[in-house]
């Protein structure tokens, strides 16, 4: 059986949501116009998620799972899932049911109209904290201003991708993956389907403030060189300020001989100002250099502990992904199956 659709669901400590997620996703699977494979990616969960996935897999032949050897983070988990898909259209959605599976038929409708990328765009965020909504709102607009590609605002990873797009994504070797950015970068016909983001079904948010911040920095640094240029601009600005200060001091020396401002104050201010500018600039440089270092090392994107449910071409867990992050090209797999 060659599936027509592949659903990819990253899972990190989601034992409380898994069975409900499976129930809702599988009822959507029944409405589809072709066979569907459901690929769970266990991102090093420390709760019973993996046991539950094993159980689901034994009960339902459409279910497959990939288990990473530790927690690699959401973006890498999705990447790993994409490396295993066999369907012609691929849907990425969260395990906590914040991305309603019932929207999938709408995404598919657009795909059938000829769009290669159909992303779900939030019109509302329910019951997420005031802080998260505010920072997300601000961040997506900042990113839109700064990024080299047009990354649509208020989109997450919930989307449908044509196999053509998935194969391009799978060939992208970069480590610092910001999937919603890469997805825009690829191009083709893209469109949005609007939806209301629902509250989490159960459990806690797995994206802590630190992880969200890291994702945001990643998005900015991977898709914009503006922060690098920032130090040039601030440098130029402070040079102008410095020249102005020289004139000011001269003026004071000549016309206001006893001004208290000509002394230490102005020197201190200048030292602190320049010190700050330099440290911030070095920090920004560091962000980019750190990423160059990560890329140059060329490690695989993830390591695999367990793979199950992929039928004949089932890999055993001793096969590890190569530095490019894939075991085999997905085209190869599809060819083998057909
Ligand atoms: N997730 C993951 N690895 C992580 C963090 C999260 O695979 O390190 C999964 C998680 O199980 C969920 C999805 O990514 O299916 C989104 O996570 P979460 O709901 O915590 O984030 P938010 O909805 O707030 O963006
Ligand atoms: Mg969530």
Q: Is the pLDDT of residue 70 over 90?
A: yes
- Per DSSP, the three-state class of 99 is coil
Q: Is the pLDDT of residue 317 over 50?
A: no
Q: In whole angstroms, what is the distance from residue 197 CA to residue 169 CA?
A: 25
Q: Is the pLDDT of residue 328 over 80?
A: no
Substitution candidate for ligand 1 out of 12, 80, 95, 204 with most atoms within 8 A of CB: 12
Higher pLDDT, 184 or 274: 184
Three-class secondary structure assignment of 215-266: HHHHHHHHHCCHHHHHHHHHHHHHHHHHHHHHHHHHHHHHHCCCCHHHCHHH
Highest mean pLDDT among 84-88, 228-232, 291-295: 84-88
Q: What is the pLDDT of residue 315?
A: 52
Q: Is the pLDDT of residue 266 over 80?
A: no
Task: Tell which atom from ligand 1 comes closest to the C-alpha of 43.
Answer: 7
Q: What is the pLDDT of residue 104?
A: 94
Q: What is the pLDDT of residue 176?
A: 81
Q: What is the pLDDT of residue 253?
A: 77
Q: Percent of the chain, pLDDT > 70? A: 89
**Ligand 2 centre and the CA of 63: distance in Å?**
22
Mean local confidence (pLDDT), 282-298: 83
Q: In whole angstroms, what is the distance from residue 322 CA to residue 80 CA?
A: 12
Q: Is the pLDDT of residue 319 over 80?
A: no
Substitution candidate for ligand 1 out of 38, 41, 96, 180 with most atoms within 8 A of CB: 96
Question: What residue ranges line ligand 1, CB within 6 angstroms?
Answer: 10-12, 14, 43, 71, 73-74, 77, 94-96, 98, 205-207
Q: pLDDT for 224-238, tens place per residue?
A: 877 877 777 887 788
How high does pLDDT run on average in the chain?
Answer: 83
Euclidean distance between the first and the last CA atom of the chain, given in angstroms as a whole number = 8
Q: Is the pLDDT of residue 330 over 50?
A: no
Q: What is the pLDDT of residue 116?
A: 94
């Amino acid at each position: 059986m060659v599936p027509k659709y592949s659903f990819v669901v990253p899972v990190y400590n989601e034992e409380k949501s898994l069975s409900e997620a499976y129930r809702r996703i599988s009822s959507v699977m029944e409405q589809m116009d072709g066979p569907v494979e459901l690929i769970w990616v266990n991102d090093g969960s420390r709760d019973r998620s993996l046991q539950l996935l094993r159980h689901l897999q034994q009960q339902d032949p459409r279910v497959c799972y990939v288990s990473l050897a530790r927690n690699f983070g959401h973006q890498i988990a999705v990447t790993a899932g994409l490396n295993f898909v066999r369907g012609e259209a691929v849907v990425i959605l969260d395990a906590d049911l914040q991305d309603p599976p019932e929207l999938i038929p709408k995404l598919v409708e657009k795909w059938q109209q000829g769009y290669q990328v159909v992303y779900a765009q939030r019109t509302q965020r329910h019951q997420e904290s005031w802080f998260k909504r505010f920072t997300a709102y601000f961040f997506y607009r900042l990113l839109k201003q700064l990024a080299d590609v047009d990354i649509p605002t208020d989109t997450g990873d919930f989307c449908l991708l044509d196999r053509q797009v998935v194969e391009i994504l799978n060939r992208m070797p970069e480590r610092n993956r910001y999937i919603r950015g890469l997805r825009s970068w690829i191009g083709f016909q893209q469109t949005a389907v609007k939806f209301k983001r629902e509250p989490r079904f159960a459990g806690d948010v797995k994206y802590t403030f630190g992880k969200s911040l890291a994702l945001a920095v990643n998005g900015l640094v991977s898709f914009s060189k503006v922060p690098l240029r920032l130090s040039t601009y601030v440098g130029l600005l402070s040079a102008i300020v410095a020249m102005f200060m020289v004139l000011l001091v001269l003026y004071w020396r000549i016309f206001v001989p006893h001004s208290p401002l000509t002394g230490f104050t102005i020197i201190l201010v200048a030292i602190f100002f320049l010190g700050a500018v330099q440290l911030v600039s070095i920090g920004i440089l560091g962000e980019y250099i750190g990423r160059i270092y990560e890329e140059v090392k060329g490690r695989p994107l993830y390591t695999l502990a367990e793979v199950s449910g992929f039928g004949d071409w089932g890999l055993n867990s001793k096969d590890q992904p190569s530095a490019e992050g894939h075991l085999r090209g997905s085209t190869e797999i599809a060819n083998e199956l057909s």
